[in-house]
Amino acid sequence: MVAYMDHKNLANETIDDARARSIADGVHRVLDGIAEAESKAGRTSGEVRLLAATKTRDVGEIMAAIDAGVRMIGENRPQEVDVKTAGLTRLCMDRGYALGTAADASGHDLVPLPFHLIGQLQSNKINKVLPYVTTIESVDHLSLAQKISKRAEARGITVGVLLEVNESGEESKSGCEPDEAIDLAGAIAALPGLRLEGLMTIGAHVDDETTIRRGFAHLRETRDALLATGDAALVNARELSMGMTHDMAYAIEEGSTIVRVGTAIFGERAFI
């Protein structure tokens, strides 16, 4: 168990009005910021999707974000997926949304609300998340992809994956080396039970705009190179998951298709 989970009941479904309002304000500010960055970059409005990064937030807080317009969520830890999914799935269904893999069973009467895993995944936790998440964003080596592929095949499902690339070269970060990304993406895309949907990176932890943008631009160039190979297994690899609270605008200007935002929606995290 993760330590902060002893201090906060993440399955809690009820929050007060002031908290719900502050989360709604956060969502609206972020959606406005996305629209502004799209327009500044000359991109089509609505091209960039917002993923709410929901680690350490409870079910009630996450539903407040969904009620304010969030249509995709991402968790970091399998334990949190485990604790929150039942409540989230039920409350989403009440509102006409099918969370994660619930969309596969819902026919066409519910609107799909994608559920991603965005944090590191240990292989012994794969089976904990596969029943629920639509996409695993943090795949960064072939052996992990092979294990996910085997478990997905055993379940008769196809799971989306993004290849995480360490564009900043920072030691503390996960992700494959940028110069390995194209070969690795090809090998991952060829595995059964997986659908390679694109690339993910975490921006450089520096203040320098040029450095941050260079990493994002390089991820986009890598994605473009993948699509240009003509490899049929790579045709779905269009997503660029890049940009967080502090570097979202740069990422959108460099081509992001998914921004993962936590703090700007929910406020500072009390834990980790």
Ligand X SMILES: *Cc1c(COP(=O)(O)O)cnc(C)c1O
Structure tokens at 13: 């479904």
Contact between 261 and ligand X by CB under 6 A: the answer reads yes
Contact between 174 and ligand X by CB under 6 A: the answer reads no
Contact between 112 and ligand X by CB under 6 A: the answer reads no
Burial of 164 (0-12, 13-18, 19+ CB in 10 A): buried
C-alpha distances in Å from residue 131, one per residue of 5, 20, 102, 183, 262: 22, 29, 9, 29, 24
Contact between 101 and ligand X by CB under 6 A: the answer reads no
- Residue that the structure tokens 């502090």 belong to: 246
C-alpha distances in Å from residue 37, one per residue of 17, 93, 270: 30, 32, 29
Nearer Cβ to ligand X, position 83 or 261? 261
Contact between 145 and ligand X by CB under 6 A: the answer reads no
- The site map against ligand X for 234-253 (x = CB under 6 A) is ----------xx--------
CB count within 10 Å of CB 96 equals 11
**Using the rule CB under 6 A, which residue among 27, 30, 37, 53 binds ligand X?**
53
Contact between 73 and ligand X by CB under 6 A: the answer reads no
Beta bridge partners of 97: 111
Stretch that binds ligand X, among 6-14, 83-91, 206-214, 258-266 (CB under 6 A): 258-266
Stretch that binds ligand X, among 31-39, 98-106, 148-156, 262-270 (CB under 6 A): 262-270
- Residue that the structure tokens 């989970």 belong to: 5
Give the residue closest to ligand X by C-beta: 262
Binding site for ligand X (CB under 6 A): 53, 55, 76, 118-119, 202, 244-245, 260-264
